[in-house]
């Protein structure tokens, strides 16, 4: 297997990172094999299916969970997915071998196994003597190439437990300190480096590390749950300047993600699990920021990312392997959702490749600045976030908070959540028509900006939803008048809704006038509902059928009402006054383990054709009641989903469902893929209304366990 020839270094592989050099992190999934017990239980059928549009050459694949007819929403895109029959050797040859070449060319590499508990992370990275993991396979290769090229190899092996680092190669396991030297280089003070000359040396030190310990008899002696990291240092024997630069390769076996709402299988307390989850979020945030080429990468938010900082950015390559259970595991969905976020293509918003708004007008921008809030809002970035002005002059506070935000990305957000999330980036620019420096009549353009892909991460689909809401507000505007557009440039891309309103310009923005940056406007791709005939002529097409539309002022009023209603639907804890805007970002710090949020779904009964009347929501209790019904609905949907997809053991965790009922549910599911569409359907399995209520109450109660 060892490749010591120069061909090895020249080798190219058709990975996403090579196809798209701006991508620093490749995100793949790996479905582990069945254990004997699982094989028996699941009759050898995995609950995960993978759609590879182009077979092994696919640039991206879709991983779907559960019965397709039931859970189409649980499908996520990753760069590739290795299936049960594809072992570590195969993953190594496709993914890791090219990284080994890079290490000998001075490019650090990091391979991370990440996933829910019990998903095979350790088997993938560490493996066993019989089935070597990726680290051992890479080591064989590294040793061979190092020998041919006069390099020496050493390893460090550490553990990060509750943000404390200790050296696993030193029997005393002293604490390791993560320090930054004067040049900004990370130093791991106290971490030993042990030379390795052969693979058997390596095995003794690393493979089977856990199995060398005596089997614990009580839970408190179980191996503690921690992140484990291996660093393979490759360096020159001598100072020969002709030697290629040397580098290091990291292998990280992250501790398993587990929803803190569940009772941990090994009695790990909530605080401990929360800390593990936080460090996982921090890790994924870093990878996401790297892939999105964000200017700020939040390395400092966890000890592990800080340790790996010099291997993650720049020219270095990262492979994240999301390990998955072949049997039902809700946590796997959560983790793949997060992983998928890091490989989403930029600029998904519908944007125009053919049109630009050519404004000959001078503009007034009411908000003092329009800044782009990074997807991942770090403490520093938060302070830089500028204010935005909403039509109602109220602020909708962002969901852009660490930890929580990771999950906000996911497509599980309800439309109202998406809108709330999107509103964080809505700002208004009013454009006054001018001729020779004087306003023309009282006509002005009001432009609602939705942030670009980079500033608008929390809710894919929110753009479309706001668009829909706007269209609903502008009742007579044909939806077909919205033109789908492609990207125009690499500049920050915004989506823009423009309308013209007859209004007294003097009421707005006096004393706050600022020139709108022409370059921003020029680079802005737009989605316009525009009634500016001059501009339309310029653009060569009309987007709105004027004859059919009611007066624009009426439409804008409706639109304004829609926005007000949406603002008032923003959770109150995310609302704040203008004064404390900065601190509001810190309401949910990275340190808070926020479980997958189920933000309220607004029940259809509270909507009127998707247009909410803000005036009807006039007391906190009404708002609360509206949200509670949304939460209730979310919970019901979640329970129904469990009933439609969970395996027998999971079903039996529901109150009132025992052996017989769970067997019957499985039988029903064989007949129809989704037998439970509403709570009344539970009567089919013999549950009375009272029992159904008790079941739901128990589930609510569990949220507070």
Ligand X SMILES: Nc1ncnc2c1ncn2[C@@H]1O[C@H](COP(=O)(O)OP(=O)(O)OP(=O)(O)O)[C@@H](O)[C@H]1O
Q: Which residues bind ligand X (CB under 6 A)?
A: 32-35, 117-123, 256, 323
Beta pairing class for 75-78 and 438-450: unpaired
Instruction: State which residue, 91 or 297, has the beta carbon closest to ligand X.
Output: 91
Instruction: State which residue, 114 or 612, has the beta carbon closest to ligand X.
Output: 114
Q: What's the CA gap between 185 and 180, in Å, rounded?
A: 5
CA angle 11, 13, 16 (to 5 degrees): 145
Q: What's the CA gap between 523 and 405, in Å, rounded?
A: 28
Which residue bears the tokens 């290795």?
A: 82
* Least distance in angstroms from the C-beta of 52 to ligand X: 20
Instruction: State which residue, 118 or 425, has the beta carbon closest to ligand X.
Output: 118
Instruction: State which residue, 122 or 477, has the beta carbon closest to ligand X.
Output: 122
* Least distance in angstroms from the C-beta of 90 to ligand X: 12
* Least distance in angstroms from the C-beta of 32 to ligand X: 4
CB 554 within 8 A of CB 500: no
Instruction: State which residue, 123 or 539, has the beta carbon closest to ligand X.
Output: 123
CB 385 within 8 A of CB 585: yes
Per-residue three-class SS string for 300-368: HHCHHHHHHHHHHCCCCEEEEEEEECCCCCHHHHHHHHHHHHHCCCCCCCCCCCCCCCCCCCEEEECCC
* Least distance in angstroms from the C-beta of 630 to ligand X: 34
* Least distance in angstroms from the C-beta of 83 to ligand X: 11
Nearest CA to 642 out of 621, 626, 662, 622 is that of: 662
Instruction: State which residue, 13 or 595, has the beta carbon closest to ligand X.
Output: 595
Instruction: State which residue, 121 or 530, has the beta carbon closest to ligand X.
Output: 121
Instruction: State which residue, 121 or 382, has the beta carbon closest to ligand X.
Output: 121
Return the structure tokens found at 631. Answer: 């939460």
* Least distance in angstroms from the C-beta of 33 to ligand X: 3
Q: Which residue is nearest to ligand X (CB)?
A: 33
Per-residue three-class SS string for 135-174: HHHHHHHHHHHHHHCCEEEEEEEEEEECCEEEECCCCCCC
Instruction: State which residue, 323 or 654, has the beta carbon closest to ligand X.
Output: 323
User: DSSP string of 620-687?
Assistant: HHHHHHHHHHHHHHHHHHHHHHHHHH--HHHHTTSTT--HHHHHHHHHHHHH-S---SSGGGGGGGT-
* Least distance in angstroms from the C-beta of 302 to ligand X: 18
For the chain, the distance separating the N- and C-terminal CA atoms, rounded to the nearest angstrom, is 52
* Least distance in angstroms from the C-beta of 93 to ligand X: 17
Q: What's the CA gap between 683 and 674, in Å, rounded?
A: 15
CB 535 within 8 A of CB 488: no
Return the structure tokens found at 483. Answer: 């033109």
User: DSSP string of 233-284?
Assistant: EEEESS--TTSPP--EEEEEEPPPB--TTSPPTT---HHHHHHHHHHHHHHH
* Least distance in angstroms from the C-beta of 160 to ligand X: 14
Going by the annotation, the residues of the binding site for ATP are 115-122
* Least distance in angstroms from the C-beta of 40 to ligand X: 13
Instruction: State which residue, 284 or 448, has the beta carbon closest to ligand X.
Output: 284
Instruction: State which residue, 79 or 258, has the beta carbon closest to ligand X.
Output: 258
Q: What's the CA gap between 252 and 125, in Å, rounded?
A: 7
Question: Could you tell me which residues come within 8 angstroms of residue 83 by beta carbon, excluding any fewer than 6 positions away?
Answer: 31, 50
Return the structure tokens found at 677. Answer: 């569409």
Q: What's the CA gap between 178 and 307, in Å, rounded?
A: 6
* Least distance in angstroms from the C-beta of 37 to ligand X: 9
User: DSSP string of 201-219?
Assistant: HHHHHTTTTGGGSPPPSSG
* Least distance in angstroms from the C-beta of 405 to ligand X: 24
Instruction: State which residue, 119 or 499, has the beta carbon closest to ligand X.
Output: 119
Return the structure tokens found at 373. Answer: 């809030």
3-state secondary structure of 60: coil
């Amino acid at each position: 297997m060892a490749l010591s020839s120069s061909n090895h270094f020249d080798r190219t592989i058709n990975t996403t990172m090579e196809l798209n050099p701006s991508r620093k992190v490749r995100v793949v999934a790996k479905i582990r094999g069945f254990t004997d017990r699982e094989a028996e239980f699941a009759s050898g059928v995995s609950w995960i299916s993978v759609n590879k549009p182009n077979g092994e050459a696919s640039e991206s694949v879709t991983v779907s969970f559960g019965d397709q007819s039931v859970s189409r929403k649980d499908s996520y895109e990753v760069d590739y997915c290795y299936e049960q029959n594809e072992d570590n050797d195969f993953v190594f040859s496709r993914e890791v071998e090219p990284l080994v070449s890079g290490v000998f060319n001075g490019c650090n590499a990091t391979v991370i196994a990440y996933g829910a508990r019990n998903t095979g992370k350790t088997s993938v990275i560490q493996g066993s003597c019989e089935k070597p993991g990726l680290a051992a396979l890479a080591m064989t290769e590294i040793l061979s190439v190092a020998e041919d090229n006069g390099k020496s190899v050493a390893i460090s092996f550490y553990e990060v437990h509750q943000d404390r680092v200790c050296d696993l190669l030193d029997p005393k396991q002293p604490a390791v300190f993560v320090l930054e030297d004067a040049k900004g280089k990370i130093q791991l003070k106290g971490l030993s480096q042990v030379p390795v000359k052969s693979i058997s040396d390596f095995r003794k030190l690393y493979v089977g590390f856990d199995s060398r310990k005596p089997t614990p008899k009580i839970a408190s002696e179980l191996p503690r749950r921690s992140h484990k990291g291996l660093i393979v240092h490759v360096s020159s024997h001598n100072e020969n300047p002709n030697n290629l630069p040397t580098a290091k390769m990291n292998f990280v076996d992250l501790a398993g993600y587990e929803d803190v709402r569940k009772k941990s299988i090994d009695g790990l307390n909530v605080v401990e699990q929360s800390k593990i989850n936080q460090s996982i979020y921090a890790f994924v945030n870093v990878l996401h920021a790297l892939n999105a080429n964000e200017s700020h990468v939040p390395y400092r938010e966890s000890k592990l990312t800080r340790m790996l900082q010099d291997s993650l950015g720049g020219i270095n390559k990262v492979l994240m392997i999301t390990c998955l259970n072949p049997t039902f595991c809700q946590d796997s969905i959560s983790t793949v959702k997060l992983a998928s976020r890091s490989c989403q293509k930029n600029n998904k918003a519908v944007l125009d490749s053919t049109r630009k708004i050519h404004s000959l007008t001078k503009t007034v921008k009411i908000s003092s600045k329009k800044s782009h809030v990074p997807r991942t809002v770090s403490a520093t970035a938060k302070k830089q976030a500028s204010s935005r002005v909403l039509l109602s002059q109220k602020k909708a506070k962002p969901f852009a908070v660490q930890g929580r935000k990771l999950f906000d990305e996911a497509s599980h957000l309800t439309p109202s959540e998406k809108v709330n999330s999107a509103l964080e980036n809505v700002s208004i620019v009013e454009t006054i028509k001018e001729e020779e420096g004087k306003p023309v009549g009282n006509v002005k353009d009001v432009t609602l900006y939705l942030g670009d892909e980079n500033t608008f991460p929390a809710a894919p689909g929110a753009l479309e939803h706001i668009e829909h809401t706007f269209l609903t507000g502008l009742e007579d505007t044909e939806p077909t008048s919205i033109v789908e557009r492609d990207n125009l440039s690499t500049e920050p891309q915004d989506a823009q809704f423009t309308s013209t309103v007859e209004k007294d310009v003097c009421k707005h923005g006096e004393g706050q006038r600022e020139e709108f940056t022409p370059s921003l406007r020029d680079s802005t791709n737009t989605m316009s509902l525009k009634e500016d005939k001059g501009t339309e002529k310029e653009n060569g097409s009309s987007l709105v059928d004027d004859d059919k539309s009611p007066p624009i002022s009426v439409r804008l009023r409706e639109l304004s009402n829609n926005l007000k209603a949406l603002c008032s639907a923003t959770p109150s804890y995310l609302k704040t006054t203008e004064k404390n805007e900065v601190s509001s970002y810190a309401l949910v710090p990275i340190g808070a383990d926020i479980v997958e949020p189920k933000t309220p779904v607004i029940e259809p009964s509270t909507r009127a054709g998707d247009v909410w009347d803000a005036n009807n929501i006039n007391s906190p209790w009404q708002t609360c009641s509206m949200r509670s019904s949304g939460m209730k609905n979310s919970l019901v949907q979640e329970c129904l989903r469990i009933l439609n997809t969970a395996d027998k053991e999971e079903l039996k965790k529901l109150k009132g469902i025992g052996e017989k009922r769970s067997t019957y549910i499985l039988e029903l599911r064989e007949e129809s893929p989704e037998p439970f569409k509403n709570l009344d359907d539970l009567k089919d399995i013999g549950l009375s209304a009272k029992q159904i209520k008790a079941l739901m109450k128990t589930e609510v109660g569990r949220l507070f366990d």
